[in-house]
Structure 1
Amino acid sequence: MIVVKLGGSLSHSESLIKCLNNLEQNYAPNAIVIVPGGGAFADQVRLAQQRWQFDDLTAHRMAILAMQQMALLIKGLKRCFTIAHSVNDIKKQLSRQRIVIWSPDIVELDQAGIEASWDITSDSLAAWLASTLAAKELILIKSAIIDKNFNLQQLAEHDIIDQGFCDVVSQATFKITIINQQNC
């Protein structure tokens, strides 16, 4: 099984549909779970938090809702994909050989002890999901240019991946691939 995190910023160009088409053509019927970034919806959460100064827990939950909105957008573009909200639901859908879009359940993430912080974004959530599902690979598709010479720590320092990612994957048994949207 492969977990693919699609950066939310892909929705600002034709890259989103191109990547979705490539995933559908190159991976189906293999087990694949798409983790959507929050994109412009998450950007609005950041702006609202700056304006209103509410706590990180509230912002975290609102950012999860942003990911859910992106899941609906992807489903709207790819009617044959299916949305799953929980780990158990993902497993059921994968057994039916469907491409699954994860629309994360806030309660499940809270129960898993996921930190409510901007250091933990959809990158780290995708890594958590890949670990929880015992995926063989996690692919992060980013709009940023990826320097192949950078290690994960350097990617975090350059804000290519979130600050918590390295901790989440420290014990990972799956392969991690980070690519630019042009290569998807």
Structure 2
Amino acid sequence: MWVIKLGGSLLGDARLTDWLALVEQLGGGRVTLVCGGGTLADEVRRLQARWQVDDLTAHNMAVLTMVQNAHLLQALAPTLQPVAREADIMPTLRRGGVALWMPLDLLRARPDPDTSWDVTSDSIALALAQRLHAERLVVVKSCEIDERLTLDQLGDLDILDRRFATLAATGSVPIDVLCRSQVEVLRGGLLGACEGGSRRYG
């Protein structure tokens, strides 16, 4: 089983439909899709700064942006199967579907170590992949990815969040970081072909 995380910044990109079509075509029974917060999460950051609300409030608002964007993906790719509870992901895959995770389980009544901006949808997707013992995590970004950079360096550049590299070091899930133009690299991976062009970690 693979976890594929589509960056929220892809929601304004015409290539989004190419990624979704590929997941619909090849992901049945094997892919769990996670969507980032994108511009909606940016607005949460702005509102938090404007009103000085606490990180717990911002965390819950940001999780809901992931849910909102997942609804958009489901509208664009109707065969994706929305999953609100993590416990329902594997049953969805066993039925042959593509699980579209709407992480309502992550809403919190009290703060915990993950309720800060050090943890974004990147680390949320990685933690999910680790809990599910996924074969691979694929993180798709809208920017170009320098294959020479480490996960720590990608975090320093704000391409990945600050917690991602540390979390990756605690598990054994292999990670691909792709840019928005590398849909064929993902196709090759899902088909089992040996295709280059991505940086693999782990």
Q: Please indicate the TM-score interval, normalised by the length of the shorter structure.
A: over 0.9
Give the whole-Å Cα distance in 1 for the aligned partners of 2:146 and 2:139.
14
Structure 2 residue 125 is matched with structure 1 residue 116: no
Q: Which residues of 2 match residues 25-64 of structure 1 at below 5 A? A: 25=25, 27-64=26-63
Question: Which amino acid in 2 is paired with 1:158?
Answer: L
Deviations for 1:34-79, whole angstroms, at most 9, x for unmatched residues?
Answer: 1100012111111111111101110011000000001100011111
Give the conservation status (yes or no) of the 8 Å contact 1:157–1:163: yes
Q: Structure 1 residues 15 and 175 mapped into 2: Cα distance closer, same or farther (>3 Å)?
A: same
Deviations for 1:11-54, whole angstroms, at most 9, x for unmatched residues?
Answer: 111121111112222x2334100110001211111111111110
Give the whole-Å Cα distance in 1 for the aligned partners of 2:36 and 2:145.
17
Give the whole-Å Cα distance in 2 for the aligned partners of 1:109 and 1:2.
26
Q: Which residues of 2 match residues 66-145 of structure 1 at below 5 A? A: 66-107=65-106, 115-145=114-144
Following superposition, the deviation at residue 114 of structure 1 comes to: 5.4
Structure 2 residue 178 is matched with structure 1 residue 179: yes
What's the counterpart of residue 12 of structure 1?
12
Give the conservation status (yes or no) of the 8 Å contact 1:153–1:166: yes
Q: Structure 1 residues 39 and 80 mapped into 2: Cα distance closer, same or farther (>3 Å)?
A: same
Give the conservation status (yes or no) of the 8 Å contact 1:152–1:166: yes
Give the whole-Å Cα distance in 2 for the aligned partners of 1:29 and 1:9.
24
What's the counterpart of residue 160 of structure 1?
159
Q: Structure 1 residue runs of 4+, over 3 Å off? A: 106-111
Relative CO higher for 1 or 2, CA cutoff 8 Å, sep ≥ 6? Answer: 1
What's the counterpart of residue 195 of structure 2?
none
- Tell me the secondary structure at the aligned position of residue 181 of structure 2: helix
Question: Which amino acid in 1 is paired with 2:31?
Answer: I
Give the whole-Å Cα distance in 1 for the aligned partners of 2:138 and 2:33.
10
Q: Structure 1 residues 110 and 82 mapped into 2: Cα distance closer, same or farther (>3 Å)?
A: farther
Q: Structure 1 residues 183 and 28 mapped into 2: Cα distance closer, same or farther (>3 Å)?
A: same
Q: TM-score, normalised by structure 2?
A: 0.85
- Structure 1, unmatched stretches of 5+, are none
- Structure 2, unmatched stretches of 5+, are 184-202
Q: TM-score, normalised by structure 1?
A: 0.93
* Structure 1 vs Structure 2 CA RMSD: 1.6
Question: Which amino acid in 2 is paired with 1:159?
Answer: D
Deviations for 1:118-171, whole angstroms, at most 9, x for unmatched residues?
Answer: 110000000000001110000000011100000100110111100010122112
Give the whole-Å Cα distance in 1 for the aligned partners of 2:109 and 2:53.
18
What's the counterpart of residue 22 of structure 1?
22
Give the whole-Å Cα distance in 1 for the aligned partners of 2:164 and 2:66.
17
Aligned-pair identity in percent equals 38
Give the conservation status (yes or no) of the 8 Å contact 1:4–1:34: yes
Q: Structure 1 residues 92 and 109 mapped into 2: Cα distance closer, same or farther (>3 Å)?
A: farther
